[in-house]
Amino acid sequence: MPTVAEVLRRHGGEYLERFGTRMPAEHRKVLGAIRACRTGVLGTVRYACASCGQNHVMGRSCGNRHCPTCQQEKARAWLERQTARLLPCPYFLMTFTLPSELRCLARGNARAVYAALFKASSDAIRTLAADNRFFGDAQPGFFGVLHTWDRTLEYHPHVHYVVPGGAVGADGNSWRPSGPAFFLPVKALSVMFRGKFREELRKAGLLKEVDPAVWRRDWIVHSKAVGDGRTSLKYLATYVFRVGISDHRMVSCDDGRVAFSYRRSGTNRWRTMTLDAMEFIRRFLQHVLPCGLQKVRHYGFLGPQSPLSIEAVRWLVTLHNGEQFLLLAKTVADTPVLPARRCGECGGQLRVIAIFPRRASAIHDTS
């Protein structure tokens, strides 16, 4: 089976010839980086096996955050860190989706629209949580992950929030829990999200580009109880350090056509979609994020400005739960440790003995 990188190596040149003059610089950079990844163009690393002494030379990774090949270990490390931060309480997965009428605006103004999406959705959660019917002056904590694609690589911008079921009291010394199956009402969140997003577009000077009818329709907000949060973290980890599609979903790349597998939402049945190679690359590149854009953001008691550490919050939950903590507060002991590189001859562990820089001719193409 081919990899995404192999598809881009085979057909990326033709794509550049056809559309290169109209491509954003960030798309060119990503295309160049992934095409060069682990080929030796970016330099090489020499390893020696600690068991048999055999030498191995491998091409260096591009390190680009959109590359599906070299971001796998980062995703696993992120999952391990986030699992270690889980609190002993119920969790919720909340999803805020932009209406289809705004997708064209988002593609053309990605930085401003993604910022508005984060700001409007996170403010909606915090504003509604502050209502005395829910958490009042207690502060919730949550983090969000920007996700711009659906299962067939079409453009579908939305944000997933992982939300602990509760809030820290205003005194910083108490925990106010939610119910196990309810955090906040989604209908109220939808209305608030729509209004706040409209205001953010007004501030950005983009409101005039939106059909007024979009403000009269219902906006989609989902909230789902997800147990201890582990399943949601595993789901999101696959999207934090790559774009759109992983190599294991690639089926074939023949005669200018690319086939990949996908599952329709709500089913477990795998299907195969076949696209022209140019269309596959277009769909892949439309999910490239603006340079420096932060796709994972933390808020409330999980935010960078919170005076409370995650350990302090964990103890507040522990004191509230009492003995239940022993059943809920699992550690990451069952999370796989990142594997060491192994020798293909004997399976022994490899150690780095030399690093060689990239070829000078490749610097312009992949920087």
pLDDT at 166: 96
Q: pLDDT: is 35 or 328 the higher one?
A: 35
pLDDT at 243: 75
- Is residue 335 over pLDDT 50? no
pLDDT at 359: 59
Q: Could you give the CA distance from residue 263 to residue 260 in angstroms, rounded to a whole number?
A: 10
- Is residue 288 over pLDDT 60? yes
pLDDT at 141: 97
pLDDT at 336: 43
Q: Could you give the CA distance from residue 221 to residue 231 in angstroms, rounded to a whole number?
A: 20
Domain extents in the chain: 4-66+338-366, 72-244+287-328
pLDDT at 325: 44
- What is the per-residue DSSP string for 328-345? H---STTSPPPPPPB-TT
- Is residue 8 over pLDDT 70? yes
pLDDT digit string, tens, across residues 154-173: 999 999 999 999 999 999 99
pLDDT at 326: 41
pLDDT digit string, tens, across residues 259-280: 999 988 778 889 999 999 999 9
Which residues, in sequence order, are CB contacts of 196 under 8 Å at separation 6+? 119, 120, 121, 123, 124, 127
Strand ranges, E, within 62-215: 91-97, 141-149, 155-164, 166-168, 175-177
Give the three-class secondary structure for 357.
Answer: coil
pLDDT digit string, tens, across residues 37-50: 888 888 888 888 88
With a pLDDT cut of 90, the percent of the chain lying above it is: 63
Q: Give the range among 133-137, 304-308, 331-335, 357-361 with minimum mean pLDDT.
A: 331-335
Give the three-class secondary structure for 44.
Answer: strand
- Is residue 139 over pLDDT 80? yes
With a pLDDT cut of 70, the percent of the chain lying above it is: 92
Q: pLDDT: is 93 or 72 the higher one?
A: 93
Q: pLDDT: is 219 or 242 the higher one?
A: 219
Query: Amino acid identity, residue 101?
Result: E
Q: Strand 141-149 vs strand 296-300: parallel, antiparallel, or unpaired?
A: antiparallel
Cβ(271)–Cβ(291) under 8 Å? no
